[in-house]
Structure 1
Amino acid sequence: MIGRPASHTIDGPAGLLEVVIEEPARAPVGLAVIAHPHPLQGGTMDNKVVHTLCRAFVLAGWRAVRFNFRGVGQSEGGWDEGRGETTDLLTVIAHHLTDPALNGLPLALAGFSFGGYVAAQAHARLSEAAANRPELVAPKQLVLISPATSRYEVPEVPAHTLVVEGEQDDVVPLASILDWARPQGLPVTVVPGTGHFFHGKLTVLREVVLRHLRAAAV
């Protein structure tokens, strides 16, 4: 487990959900919720790529929230093939947006691998709902790290989405990411010399995400 604040639990659709909150040095500029890799393949919110995403968002001034999907860690329930996990993410978002300190501030979603698929699904659902109900919050930022395009039908995403992929990824091959991105005209940032888990390149990954967030804030 990577050093982090203590977790706590909130009510979820299948029982309690385990959550960790990390705060920036000053008042947050928005809420970022980050989704972890596949629960049945050892994915948890303490994954190093998820931790790296949290650090980038915190450094950019966001409140970063990560959580364990149902059936992982202290989160109750069981694997639901992505359907329930998307609902878990939406529940975590809704819970934290009730904080008055975040009133009127933007929402960002991020995810790694399977978590990237879930984040993209949640983004699509929230954006569709907000189009019909202006009082709802549509995500302003979407950051996907090696989204699981070779295993799931990842929906189309906005043109400003940051997609990052390892050149030597053997879990979600680069070709699969490009096949998904190409019809959308969506740029993909490729980190050379690393695979799915960005071994030896986590600092590079953090800086790529941090630069993107800072540029978007200008």
Structure 2
Amino acid sequence: MIGRPDSTTIDGPAGLLEVVLEDPATAPIGLVVIAHPHPQMGGTMDNKVVHTLSKAFVLAGWRAVRFNFRGIGQSEGAWNEGVGEVDDLLAVLAHHRTDPAVQSLPLALAGFSFGGFIAASASARLTEPPSELVLVSPATRYALPHVPAHTLVVQGEQDDVVSMASVLDWARPQALPVTVVPGVGHFFHGQLGVLRDRVLRHLRGTSGTSA
């Protein structure tokens, strides 16, 4: 487990959901909920890419919340083919959105691999699109929806789980830019710092905070 604050549990649609909340050093400028990779393939909220996304958002001034999908860690329930997992993310968002410290602030969603599909799907169900949507190697084996034009998509050139060609095929009809990290595989081994810095630059550039 990567060093992080202790987890807590909240009510979810299939039972309790395990969550971790991390705040920036100053008052948060927004709230982000981050989704992890496929729960049936070892994905948890302690995945290193998920941890990297959380760190980037916190450094940019956001309150970051990550969680375990139903049936993982201390989260109750069982795998639900990606349908219930979208409900899980929306439940985590609704719970933390009630905090007066963030309820009127911008909202962001982020996810890695299967979590990218979940974040994109949750974004499509919101009344208004999130201020930020960050997808890292979003799983194209699922029906990825179209996403807002300001979405940041980051893809490893040598990803052998989610191919770069499939991500480009999804992005092309939307005229959606994709940031490709050369020589990098699915889990960004040895390049997590590059991923963090790319997300951080994007957030600082669009949020108007200083670099």
Q: Give me the whole-angstrom Cα distance separating, in 1, the residues matched to 2:201 and 2:47.
A: 22
Letter in 1 for 2:182: P
Q: Unaligned regions of 5+ residues in structure 1, if any?
A: 131-137
* Residue of structure 2 equivalent to 1:114: 114
Coordinate RMSD, CA, aligned: 0.6
Deviation at 1:103, TM superposition (A): 2.7
Deviation at 1:186, TM superposition (A): 0.4
* Residue of structure 1 equivalent to 2:183: 193
List 4+ stretches of structure 1 deviating above 2 A: none
Q: Normalising to structure 1: TM-score of the pair? A: 0.94
Alignment of structure 1 residues 1-218 onto 2, 5 Å: 1-126=1-126, 129-130=127-128, 138-149=129-140, 151-218=141-208
Q: Unaligned regions of 5+ residues in structure 2, if any?
A: none
Q: Normalising to structure 2: TM-score of the pair? A: 0.98
Deviation at 1:193, TM superposition (A): 1.1
String of CA shifts for 1:86-140, please: whole Å, max 9, x gaps: 00000000000000011310000000000000000000000xx34xxxxxxx411
Letter in 2 for 1:203: G
Q: Give me the whole-angstrom Cα distance separating, in 1, the residues matched to 2:167 and 2:130.
A: 22
Letter in 1 for 2:61: G
- How many pairs were matched up? 208
